Structure 1
Amino acid sequence: MESVRISITAAISRSRFLAAGLLLAVCSLDLNSPAASAAGEPVPVPVRGSARMGMGVAAHDGQDGVPVDTRATHTEGVDVSSHQGNVAWSTLWNSGVRWAYAKATEGTYYKNPYHPQQYGGSYDVGMVRGAYHFATPDTTGGAAQADYFVDHGGGWSEDARTLPGALDIEWNPYGPSCYGKSRAAMITWIRDFLNRYKARTGRDAVIYTATSWWTECTGNYAGFGSTNPLWIARYASTVGTLPAGWSSYTMWQYTSSGPTVGDHDRFNGSADRLRTFSRG
């Protein structure tokens, strides 16, 4: 009987030891590490304002850095945000980059402090440039965010060097992918932004998105394809299936780890066609 009690006591001790070891391992796990992500552990929510184009593309919609089919005529571009800081635009120009988008705003609470250098510097070296807005449909309405964008660097001018503003609508880096909105509410929010931008600038804004997000959060709505140019995000050898309503893309973000700074993109056409597009 005494030997049974000793065996039970030893087993309990071993279980407590193993539990303590497991707890220590979990507590010491780096939540930013691939192991933490693979284990399904939560990762820190980024600081508001730090979102940038394609932030969720590699995680949600395919592999990054895949070589791209170069057979079609295209013109190389980049998109940048405060993540890149001050950009060496002459280096990018010498590498063959001919157009750029710089993040201007997010929600109605954030202005990119590097936007003047990025937006103006790309223009100064000869690029066609534009600005983009990172949408946060859970904070304020679409029209309010369009006004904020236009008022803080997202306007347009008919000078053959300025691209229409772009609405970056993709995975929410701060919470639920669809910002807590139903598909109908998301479509309304996007429409409100686009209508106000058109009223303020005279141009239809570019829509930047990924097919999988668009399908999930709008139900693959087809109503903007006839008016708003598509900037598709897909890190693969082809653009793949486009969202409903668009038969072709205007721009393609094909990687976030290109040979030079920023995400790399391709305009679907020659440099002359790019300038024609910029004029409207």
Structure 2
Amino acid sequence: MSDLQSTQRFSDRVEDYVRYRPDYPPALLQWLHREHGVSARWQVADIGAGTGISSKLFLDAGHQVIAVEPNTPMRAAAERWLADYPDFRAIDGRADASGLDDHSVDLISVAQAFHWFDPVASRCEFHRILRPKGLAAIYWNSRRLLGTPFLEGYEALLRNYSSDYARVAEHYPDEAQMREWFGTGFRGTARFEHAQRLDFDALRGRLMSSSYAPQAGHINHEPMLRSLRELFDACAEHDRISFDYDTCIYVGCVNPDKAI
């Protein structure tokens, strides 16, 4: 996939992304503060910040945040949503060319976007912009594929109706790969349970926020939504389903010479 394709995949899904994508558990930030000495005084560069969901986590804890996002509609959505935070600004930049000054930030935050990055080029850029003793925190919500009839049915629905799903689904690195990416700078990892409780309209929006979900006009769009309705009706309790995640985080200093 070209760089242009990867940075523009969500341009036509911004509103659904803002409204229906999950946030991150507060325990994640508490762990960073408690176990790794991160404090509210640390300035954060949120790389691949999208619509600002990850940025808001740090802003609410008192951090200054610079959101680096190459997708114009998503960056504009973040600026609108977080306009009331005086310690927030967003810039046009990429993981391998952030536009930030050398040694200018204390903490790099990377959430769902990490699997789109070039691992070598992004690590070199992270090393350049981090201050001495700065850290990178790389984390994501990983949707559970098994464990409940809903989760298993949702995975089957994606595989049935999305021709793009197998190619661009969230193929995140495992722990061994992340340890290799950080090299000797690796400092720790943690996992947290997280979930959204969704009614049908929110579930539909969550599905349509995914870049691989067929949109209106596609031959699979209406059949997919009918199947989603059937799955929801079969699995909902009190008109809600639980959309379950494992939130994984990896933290460390960044060695520019260590490749996966």
**Common fold, TM-score beyond 0.5?**
no
TM-score normalised by L of structure 1: 0.26
Q: TM-score, normalised by structure 2?
A: 0.27
User: Which of 1 and 2 has greater Rg?
Assistant: 1
Q: Which has the higher contact order (CA 8 A, sep 6+)?
A: 2
Give 1 or 2: higher strand fraction.
2
Higher helix share: 2
